[in-house]
């Protein structure tokens, strides 16, 4: 599932390729604004907040989109077209003056809002470490307000801190040495927020370090626990355990941990090693 660093990198690619480009033809194909023409607008800038992408136009409007599990963006060269199977999933189409086309595919969230009202669609989100207005103190305050919440639940709550998805939450639990289902208040939240911000920024901006948490970019060695069910912990050799977060979860989120490096105080470890 795309996380805040994924969307930030997407923003950088779209910005480099299309900022300042004029839309000669195009439209929205889903959501309440389906059928709205985007022709005549110029792409002024892009911004992100957590996992949300904001495309700002020169007429004072903003296209708000979210990838969730399945969404993606692609750009086709002038004279080239998408395969018919991909075109069927198009939710946004922007034909630029130079003939290129920008496609938003299978996006579950597509809406056009006044740029001055962006707060209406992202105002509920917590502070984002990848934004210039990052407020670490506010993120700590929000996480500390419910210190009894399980670690994974608290960090996945985008109203507390925005941009952390399943991979980062699991890896941060390991790095902090806390069981993923232990109360978040049992770890140093100040240190946790600082670590989360540092990890997201490195992943989003350092070449070759995208979602590498161990410092080792080799296949199978880039994560401490995520995706490593049944394999030996890279630190102590204990078999990594896994548990589905929610039964029949459409997002198929799973929680991984090392029962030795992340022991749960006073409780039995629950999960399967494979």
Does residue 60 have a pLDDT over 80?
Answer: yes
Give catalytic status of residue 2 as yes or no: yes
- The catalytic residue among 11, 91, 228, 253 is 253
Distances 243 to 38, 120, 175, 247, 255 between C-alpha atoms, Å: 45, 35, 19, 10, 5
Give catalytic status of residue 51 as yes or no: yes
Does residue 178 have a pLDDT over 90?
Answer: yes
Q: Which two tokens stand for residue 259?
A: 């029962």
- The catalytic residue among 11, 41, 51, 228 is 51
- The catalytic residue among 3, 101, 111, 171 is 3
- pLDDT tens digits for range 207-264: 999 999 999 999 989 999 999 999 999 999 999 999 976 554 445 578 999 999 999 7
- pLDDT tens digits for range 3-31: 999 999 999 999 999 999 999 999 999 99
Alpha-carbon distance of 167 to 188, in angstroms, equals 20
Alpha-carbon distance of 194 to 155, in angstroms, equals 13
- The catalytic residue among 2, 129, 180, 259 is 2
Alpha-carbon distance of 152 to 182, in angstroms, equals 9
Give alpha helix (H) positions in the chain: 4-18, 84-87, 119-122, 136-144, 151-156, 166-176, 189-205
Q: What is the pLDDT of residue 264?
A: 78
Give catalytic status of residue 251 as yes or no: no
The predicted model gives 103-118 an average pLDDT of 97
The predicted model gives 122-147 an average pLDDT of 97
């Amino acid at each position: 599932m795309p996380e805040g660093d994924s969307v930030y990198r997407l923003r950088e690619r779209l910005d480099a390729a299309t900022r300042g480009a004029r839309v000669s033809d195009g439209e929205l194909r889903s959501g309440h604004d389906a059928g709205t023409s985007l022709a005549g607008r110029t792409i002024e800038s892009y911004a992100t907040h957590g996992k949300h992408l904001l495309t700002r136009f020169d007429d004072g409007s903003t296209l708000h989109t979210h990838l969730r599990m399945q969404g993606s963006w692609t750009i086709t060269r002038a004279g080239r077209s998408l395969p018919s199977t991909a075109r069927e999933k198009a939710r946004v189409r922007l034909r630029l003056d130079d003939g290129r086309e920008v496609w938003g595919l299978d996006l579950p969230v597509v809406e056009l809002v006044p740029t001055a009202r962006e707060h209406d669609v992202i105002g509920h989100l917590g502070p984002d470490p990848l934004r210039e207005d990052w407020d670490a103190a506010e993120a700590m305050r929000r996480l500390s307000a419910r210190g009894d919440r399980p670690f994974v639940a608290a960090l996945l709550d985008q109203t507390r801190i925005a941009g952390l998805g399943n991979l980062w939450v699991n890896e941060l639990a390991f790095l902090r040495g806390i069981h993923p289902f232990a109360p978040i208040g049992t770890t140093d939240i100040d240190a946790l927020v600082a670590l989360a911000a540092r990890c997201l920024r490195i992943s989003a901006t350092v070449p070759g370090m995208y979602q590498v948490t161990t410092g080792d970019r080799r296949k199978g060695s880039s994560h401490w626990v995520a995706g490593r069910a049944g394999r030996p912990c890279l630190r102590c050799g204990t078999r990594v355990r896994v548990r589905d977060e929610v039964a029949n979860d459409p997002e198929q989120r799973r929680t991984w941990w090392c029962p030795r490096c992340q022991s749960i105080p006073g409780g039995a470890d629950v999960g399967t090693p494979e």
